């Protein structure tokens, strides 16, 4: 079956009584040009180990295998997981795991080491899956994903923009995030209501110590839960161990070179890291 042929994909679903599940985000990529664009953006080389989450019918899986990659595909749908290897000719380079990616033991999955993650992520849980994988200590150095356009904008959003949020700040701590290409809704079947974007994330070394890193996540999580408030006012009312008296907060903001009147989305990642260092040194 030609997995980029809309008529053949629809025919297979009808013949097998398979109804794409909107809840599972089953929108199958049916555009050859976009498939090639994902592969080119990922830059996967022969022999590399690749993690794919949500392979569906296997259009991306097949293309990765053709480029010589060794693919571990995680599929939640029982029927799709059961058919995947056989439908692709039982290739030696493919391992299929029938599981919900949100419930997997990531230490066990990622511990063996992947060179890349390349996935058309399910719309409904794509952000959660990407954050779980990307922020893991054994995360692949490169992740190339297809996500909703609005979600992609959040991942790459710079400071002082409406799209700036917790997910983007967290990903930008460890990765250079690049929006590669917009993808029209017509490139999928069933057609989703919104467009998508190919995103590439390249890992870089963070200078934060473990305690500073924890402070970074604690601070940003709390601040974006109260994003309408000025940081100083929000942290003044924060529970322990984040909360501080006015004088202590003023000293911490001064040490980080940040105005207490700033709001969460206005800070650069460098400023968030400076604030995390100050809090960590103060015993957070």
Q: What is the CATH number of the domain that holds 274?
A: 1.10.8
Domain that holds residue 273: 210-281
End position of a domain, from candidates 177, 203, 229 = 203
Evaluate whether 4 touches 35 at the Cβ level (below 8 Å): yes
Phi, psi of 23 (to 5 degrees): -60, -35
Q: Per the domain annotation, does 1 fall within a domain? A: no
End position of a domain, from candidates 172, 203, 234 = 203
Q: What is the mean pLDDT of residues 185-213?
A: 95
The structure tokens listed for 11 are 């025919």
Residues 209-257: tens digit of each pLDDT? 999 999 999 999 999 999 999 999 999 989 988 988 899 999 999 999 9
* Overall number of domains in the chain: 2
Residues 48-76: tens digit of each pLDDT? 999 999 999 999 999 999 999 999 999 99
| Same domain membership, residue 122 and residue 190 | yes
| Same domain membership, residue 253 and residue 196 | no
| Same domain membership, residue 161 and residue 55 | yes
Evaluate whether 236 touches 246 at the Cβ level (below 8 Å): yes
43 phi-psi bin (left φ>0, alpha ψ -120 to 50, beta other): left
pTM equals 0.95
End position of a domain, from candidates 175, 203, 231 = 203
Give the whole-number percent of the chain exceeding pLDDT 70.
Answer: 100
| Same domain membership, residue 225 and residue 160 | no
Q: Per the domain annotation, does 266 fall within a domain? A: yes
| Same domain membership, residue 219 and residue 108 | no
What lies within 8 Å, CB to CB, of 163 at 6+ separation is 150, 153, 154, 157
How far apart CA 13 and CA 95 sit, in angstroms, is 23
Q: Nearest Cα to 253, choosing from 240, 229, 236?
A: 236
């Amino acid at each position: 079956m030609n997995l980029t042929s809309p008529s053949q994909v629809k025919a297979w679903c009808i013949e097998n009584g398979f109804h794409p599940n909107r809840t599972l985000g089953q929108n199958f990529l049916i555009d050859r040009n976009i498939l090639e664009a994902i592969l080119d953006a990922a830059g996967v080389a022969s022999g590399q180990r690749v993690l794919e989450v949500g392979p569906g019918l296997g259009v991306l899986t097949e293309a990765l295998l053709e480029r010589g990659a060794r693919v571990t595909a995680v599929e939640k749908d029982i029927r799709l997981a059961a058919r995947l290897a056989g439908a692709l000719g039982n290739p030696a380079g493919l391992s299929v795991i029938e599981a919900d990616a949100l419930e997997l033991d990531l230490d066990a999955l990622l511990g063996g080491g992947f060179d890349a993650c390349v996935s058309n992520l399910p719309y409904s849980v794509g952000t959660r899956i990407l954050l779980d994988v990307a922020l893991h200590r054994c995360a692949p150095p490169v992740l190339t994903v297809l996500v909703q356009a609005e979600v992609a904008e959040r991942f790459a959003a710079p400071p002082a923009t409406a799209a700036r949020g917790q997910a983007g700040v967290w990903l930008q701590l460890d990765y250079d995030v690049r929006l590669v290409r917009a993808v029209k809704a017509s490139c999928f079947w069933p057609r989703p209501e919104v467009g998508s974007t190919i995103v590439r994330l390249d890992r870089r070394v963070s200078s934060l110590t473990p305690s500073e890193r924890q402070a970074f996540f604690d601070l940003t999580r709390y601040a974006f839960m109260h994003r309408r408030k000025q940081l100083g006012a929000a942290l003044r009312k924060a529970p322990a161990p984040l909360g501080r008296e006015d004088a202590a907060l003023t000293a911490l903001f001064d040490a980080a070179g940040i105005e207490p009147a700033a709001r969460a989305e206005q800070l650069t990642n460098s400023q968030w890291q400076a604030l995390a260092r100050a809090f960590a040194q103060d015993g957070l």
